Structure 1
Amino acid sequence: MTSGPELLNRRGVAVLACVGLACGLLSGLFGIGGGTIIVPALVWLGLSQRHAAATSLAAIVPTSISGVVSYATEGNVNWIAAALLALGVIVGSQLGSLLLSRLPEVVLRWVWVAFLIFVIIQQITFTPPREGHLVLHVWSGAFLVLLGVVTGALAGVLGIGGGAIMMPALSFLFGASDLMARGTSLLVMVPGALSGTAANWKRGIVHLKSGLIIGCCAVLTAPLGTMAAGWLTPRAGSLLFAAWLAVLAVRSIWTALKVTRRA
């Protein structure tokens, strides 16, 4: 197991700290774990897509804890829905870790690009309500567990917390407000990221020290992002998130093309 010594020189630590600060801000603002920032940054620093995704998942643990505390204090967490989602996410994250260790690098790159494009389209076409209520019954509870399995598998492969999947699903399918969806998503990320990181640790593909540097720095700025989320309208938040992902998608397509040519 390596802790990523090539990342822990002075330049690397400074980059990791800056990534963590930005990650915390966007985590609180958009209700995501921050993998959309962490993975490209770690790839830029020289990690493979596989190791970057595994390390990102480790960084998401403290990031999501900080974000969910801020949302919970405002009453924007549905604990029952989070528990049902978490059951599925824990199972799905094990599958995701297995796929992450076995899929070719070029496949991982293009799965990441497809995911970014999907979320961009979703953010542009759907605006979550600010005043909404998450209603649970037997069938919706079962569907939440299934959603958790799918989210956990994708989160494990991509190195994300899964908020970009859960947040729109909670609003669109279950009627949750945008703030409730973000807070609930962040809570679910904690057991999912822990489960996936444990599996990645056993497979020797996570750079734990680098992930902890990012995560601890993210804790400092996540509350600021949560405050900003309350100031923005749901539509403005969706468009800002889509714009950020569009920038990442352009760079990710470029790097995926280069990896494909080499392959």
Structure 2
Amino acid sequence: MYIYLPIAEISMHIGIIIGLGGGVGFLSGLFGVGGGFLMTPLLIFFGIPPAVAVATEANQIVASSVSGVLAHMRRGNVDFKMGGILLLGGVVGSSLGVVLFTTLREMGQIDLVIKLSYVVFLGIIGFLMLLESVRTILRTRRPGSRKTKLHQHNWLHGLPLKMRFRRSKLYISALLPLAIGAFVGVLAAIMGVGGGFIMVPAMIYLLGMPTSVVVGTSLFQIIFVTANVTFLQSVQTQTVDFMLAGLLLFGAVIGAQFGTRASALLRGEQLRGLLALIVLAVCIKLGFDLALRPDDLFSVELLK
């Protein structure tokens, strides 16, 4: 059965929308990411305007993240103190990001900026994560190999305002997670992502958090940042399609529960390797579409 999406102004099959939500929800629970890095490009591939895909996906991420956090809370894998610091930076960053989104949309450049942002960030993060995970897997398979730390202490760990995060077993400056949260907040507004594909590796490699705690804590922060983005986008740009978001939400809540269970079956380096491959696949697809010659070299868009 097809349904008309009023804000996107196209018709889509309900089964496809729910299936997309379920698949991305599964990845959310599996990797500790909101899934926006995958869902937003998929919606664009299916004909949803990029601006609508970005704003609507932030709404769907809220639901899938809540479902994933509840599952990880039962396992005790959420550092609420760390999540609160990341959240504070994320709210500030996402608010500034929506202002930037509105400005770019008025200039008529938002679609290009969204796609280029995905290609650049997904390509860099995916390559680095894949390289690290392959090295770790090869190292652990060598006889007599010793485990090494994922992160090394540098000048960042000497910043002031240090706090103790007992669940993550860390004693670091609060400025570091605050800055990471703010940066990811800006990306959440511009790219329609929870920022997990950047947040997760940053929490592991820069903050030095255990992988098991990173997943739940990342989802906790994502909930409130994407909720803030959804509210601001609804008020300022009117690009949130709640009909589309509701169907994606339905599938995402179910998929996240299965993804959380599956995450317990894989080691940390295996999870990072799989996430890196998915990130690179999306990057290649978007880059290929940008390089193709468009059917219409010129187009006219009527401002509403």
Amino acid at match of 2:120: A
Shift of 1:91: 0.9
Partner of 1:98, secondary structure, is helix
Amino acid at match of 2:103: R
1:124 counterpart residue number: 130
Partner of 1:231, secondary structure, is coil
CA 1:3–1:126 in structure 2 vs 1: closer, same or farther (change >3 Å)?
Answer: farther
Within the candidate set 159, 166, 175, 2:208 is matched to 175
Post-superposition CA distance 1:242-262 (Å, at most 9, x none): 221222112101222348894
Unaligned runs of 5+ in 1: none
77-86 or 230-239, larger mean C-alpha shift: 230-239
1:207 counterpart residue number: 241
Shift of 1:121: 1.5
Partner of 1:126, secondary structure, is helix
Contact 1:54 1:205 in 2 (8 A): yes
Instruction: Give the distance between the partners of 2:113 and 2:290, measured in 1 at CA.
Output: 9
Instruction: Name the % identity.
Output: 28
CA 1:208–1:171 in structure 2 vs 1: closer, same or farther (change >3 Å)?
Answer: same
Contact 1:29 1:225 in 2 (8 A): yes
250-259 or 239-248, larger mean C-alpha shift: 250-259
Amino acid at match of 2:168: L
Contact 1:3 1:206 in 2 (8 A): no
Instruction: Give the distance between the partners of 1:262 and 1:42, measured in 2 at CA.
Output: 22
Amino acid at match of 2:126: I
Check if 1:4 corresponds to 2:7.
Answer: yes
2:156 counterpart residue number: none
2:117 counterpart residue number: 111
Instruction: Give the distance between the partners of 2:277 and 2:21, measured in 1 at CA.
Output: 20
Amino acid at match of 2:92: V
Post-superposition CA distance 1:25-77 (Å, at most 9, x none): 10011111011221122112222222211111111010100011111110111
Partner of 1:216, secondary structure, is helix
Check if 1:13 corresponds to 2:14.
Answer: yes
Compare CA radii of gyration and give the structure with the larger one: 2
Partner of 1:75, secondary structure, is coil
Post-superposition CA distance 1:214-234 (Å, at most 9, x none): 122110121211111111111
Shift of 1:168: 1.1
Unaligned runs of 5+ in 2: 137-146, 151-166, 299-304
Contact 2:177 2:207 in 1 (8 A): no
Instruction: Give the distance between the partners of 1:204 and 1:5, measured in 2 at CA.
Output: 11
2:162 counterpart residue number: none
Within the candidate set 274, 284, 288, 1:254 is matched to 288
Contact 2:170 2:209 in 1 (8 A): no
2:231 counterpart residue number: 198
1:65 counterpart residue number: 66
Shift of 1:199: 0.8
Amino acid at match of 2:119: V
Amino acid at match of 2:183: V
Contact 1:19 1:37 in 2 (8 A): no
Check if 1:151 corresponds to 2:154.
Answer: no
Shift of 1:5: 6.3
Within the candidate set 168, 177, 187, 2:220 is matched to 187
Post-superposition CA distance 1:192-231 (Å, at most 9, x none): 0010011110121111221121122110121211111111
> Of Structure 1 and Structure 2, which has the larger fraction of its residues in strand?
2
CA 1:259–1:79 in structure 2 vs 1: closer, same or farther (change >3 Å)?
Answer: farther
Shift of 1:3: 4.3
Count of aligned pairs between the two proteins: 259
> Of Structure 1 and Structure 2, which has the larger fraction of its residues in helix?
1
Within the candidate set 175, 179, 184, 1:142 is matched to 175
Shift of 1:136: 4.4
Amino acid at match of 2:28: S
CA 1:107–1:243 in structure 2 vs 1: closer, same or farther (change >3 Å)?
Answer: same
Shift of 1:116: 1.0
Q: RMSD between aligned alpha carbons?
A: 2.4
Partner of 1:243, secondary structure, is helix
Contact 1:52 1:159 in 2 (8 A): yes
